[in-house]
Amino acid sequence: DGGEFDGWCWPGSSVYLDFTNKNARSWWADQFALDKYEGSTLDLYTWNDMNEPSVFNGPEVSMQKDVKAVDGQEHREWHNLYGFYQQMATGEGHIRRSEGHSERPFVLSRAFFAGSQRFGAIWTGDNAGQWSHLKIAGPMLLSFNIAGLPFIGSDAGGFFGNPDAELMTRWFQAAAYHPFFRGHAHHDAKRREPYVFGEPHTSRLRAATIARYALLPLWYTLFHESHETGAPVMRALWMQYPDDEKVFGMDDQFLVGSDLLVKPVTEQGATSTHVYLPGGSAAVWYDVDTFGKVNGGQTISVNTPIEKIPVYQRGGSIVPRQLRVRRSSKLMQHDPYTLFIGVDANGQAAGNLYLDDFHTFDYQKGVYALRHFEFDNDKLSATNAAGKDQAFTPSNKIERIVIFGLKLASTDNINVGGRKLEASYNAEQNVYTIRKPML
């Protein structure tokens, strides 16, 4: 009727901004200015929660369908857009507060719509600390990636309830390979930080987290590819293997990009699982923990003690990692890289690595580096894959190269530009480790 709408949410009695109105969105964006948002800094980012909009004392826990926006449209017309517009306005507020520093925003939103991928990350909402909710997380995230919303995850460990150490470990192992990885719980739930569970559980949770951080270079490269092409970062197997009918209905395992195949363990007490390796008998896959080689086109049984999540690197791929354990990703920015090269049946492999300054919009001006690596005929080469003059020169070096699946006569002739490199060969794993090329 033209008055303010009043409802209840976490703060108590509340009124709700009309984010469908551009003037309201602009006002909201202005509130993020450092002199208005008390105690805020450029390192403080934003989580838009309860923005369906959530109204505890309303029908269907929201507003009545006939509540009108400033411009006269009824709530039934813009319900699904409310969170979309709030996340848009919040992202704009982050950009405005940086006062010309061109700082990228980070905004996490619970409500979203088609196009929300342009404005930040989202998550699947209030799940429960149950094995069934871990099991369904993967298919949900695959669905959203197919729909063009790649930056999404589920609350690791569940929002409601009290997961035990086994469920928490299995969820961390799975979520470490999901696009968005975080823990989050209801305020009535018991504490579930990794250290709460004690050893040996804390070490297992730490190992899953370290695996995630080591792969941030791959994730960053995949998100750049998604930004350029729209390709999902977490992919159903049929996206890479459309001729293999066996993968059409498969949603309990997935691909990170095209090069890592992941099969989470989602059954309580499970100490083994079955993994299907696509690509036909000519394809090659490598266990990322043991470098064990397995041919594709078959289902294999894998032992999965509590420490193990089955992850396989595709033969023919080069996966970059940063292996130095830091307190945050920001501290990893200048760390060196290790290239993990898994060769295919022809002894070849290829992969990309994307780099920029990690925090400004200068990449839109072409200030980034995209390196394409190729391994062929026992030679590793790198080229500029950006298709233009490389406007960004990172300080990072390659400190190690790990090659598996290859047979060389010896390590005596491993060199760069005639400079002999330190190299070793593990015959049991068939792995060559080349140290300090420092390229």
Q: CA-to-CA distance for 258 and 353, rounded, in angstroms?
A: 14
Give dist(CA 160, CA 150) in Å, integer.
25
Phi/psi for 372 (5° steps) reads: -110, 120
Write the single-letter amino acid at 11.
P
Q: How far apart are CA 20 and CA 351, in angstroms?
A: 43
CA 294 to CA 274: how far, in whole Å?
Answer: 13
Catalytic choice (52, 225, 287, 399): 52
User: Is there a catalytic annotation at residue 259?
Assistant: no
Whether residue 200 is preceded by a cis peptide bond, meaning omega within 30 degrees of 0, is yes
Q: How far is CA 122 from CA 46, 118, 395, in A?
A: 12, 11, 32
Which residue among the candidates 49, 166, 244, 362 is catalytic per the annotation?
49
What angle, 0 to 180 degrees and rounded to 10, lies between the N-to-C axes of helices 165-175 and 201-214?
10
Burial string for 64-80 (b: 16+ CB within 10 Å, else e) reads: eeebebeeeeebeebbe
User: Would residue 126 show up in a list of annotated catalytic residues for this protein?
Assistant: yes
Beta strand 311-314 pairing with 431-435: unpaired
- Alpha carbon of 185 to those of 12, 117, 129, 167: distances in Å? 20, 24, 9, 14
Q: Rounded to whole angstroms, what are the CA distances from 372 to 317, 330, 355, 369, 381?
A: 11, 24, 12, 10, 8
Residue of 71, 77, 126, 422 marked active site: 126
Helices 216-229 and 201-214 sit at what angle, rounded to 10 degrees? 50
Residue 30 exposed, middle or buried by CB count within 10 Å (0-12, 13-18, 19+): middle
- Residue 247 DSSP symbol: G
CA of residue 335 relative to chain centroid, distance: 20
Which residues does the annotation mark as catalytic? 49, 52, 126
